[in-house]
Chains A and B, each alone.
Chain A
């Protein structure tokens, strides 16, 4: 086994790991060595083809369809140089003060998080898209929400030179999205940080990682030769995401007892809803996600966002089969789409575990409140579709394949909880949170408010697994702000830490 030695090793290069890498990069000027170990590949620019099946294979775990243990929800999370920031839509919101208050983490103050969030909003060129770049799919949502007096806001997005491919979730083919693969990682590398791709960390020992480098048949080859490695470090920062960070720590056999490790997993379970217009609209051209409606977050625990997905993802989310399914699929140019996301509670039984092979297994139970929110959100989305002019709407909890515009007054009886069956509907999640939650109580948390694992001074966590509850908004800016805090703590503590 090849042996390497660094001052700091970061596991993962997404919103958390990429941020930590860039913030620690100045240490390289002082002769320190920092490495980022990323499981996924760094794609060449010409490999961003926008082809759904091909890009899902290259950029996501399990092609974007990682199943929870009982098969009732799929989880989408990235595996690439830049992690999930390669495949999100770039929507950039800072954590609301009231959500942070609900988190209730002593030592985590809103003013501090806000200041750090604003730093990354600036660094990532976050801004509102100009009106002439808003397509019909988004504009119709905005106008319908206003007609219905629902509170609606425009998403700030982190793009530079967006050409409106609409392919954000498959990796931007125009290099416009300012994820960590475009901003923080190149800056870190320029300052001397080594980013090692195609490198899977198998376990963490006492101030060391064991990892394997294996190149897939695409992307740039790793900077390290293929093989197994033992990498020693004075500090290790785990930022592998809310599924893989807890899984890595669970299979590592840490020298401390952490009963909350893997628990309190939340996901913003989501449904894709489709309305059909009687004429073509602009939908798959232009940025796909420009507006959100948070009108119902407090009262009914769900939010709505514009979205536009690709043929397979769309087909999978329509209930049914045969000619009626095919007929709707044959009119993608008439589709309006809304993503509804439930605000789910952090429960100890919703957790990441590892199987006998050490692979992650996610246990997730839908509460009655979450199921009620998902049903009610479909009724609200249907009202928005009809207010936008759709002639029919497909709702996964509908009693029939589609609901006509003349039935808008009967939505409560046409979209019902009993028709909304787990295993039948496609529930998905791209906001994976918790599993290494912050806090002060070792019984219910894994790290302190600065991401240091309780009782292990050289081990830190810096990703969405830190969230003690769900964020109620798109999480990536919050991940960066928390990672910024973790990097600061690592810098401060490093003089006290030594190699094993």
Chain B
């Protein structure tokens, strides 16, 4: 089970700092930083810079996403912002607007 779950219906305005997996299904406005995986579920709205070991996006994100490992935008996911990651995938049906830096 994930360490931290921001459930649907929950609103956080502020910064989240963590060293465990974070699952977002609600709304977040601010900043999200963790040293573990980040999962942004469908239906969630994140207006924040997101940093994690790996980031999976199935909801809506407005902000820059940074991950040493990988960033995945799932089908139905939407990202407006820059991505900085070693690996990066955009699934069919996802939308993305921004720059990509794969640290070549």
| A and B assemble together | no
Binding site for B on A (CB under 8 A): none
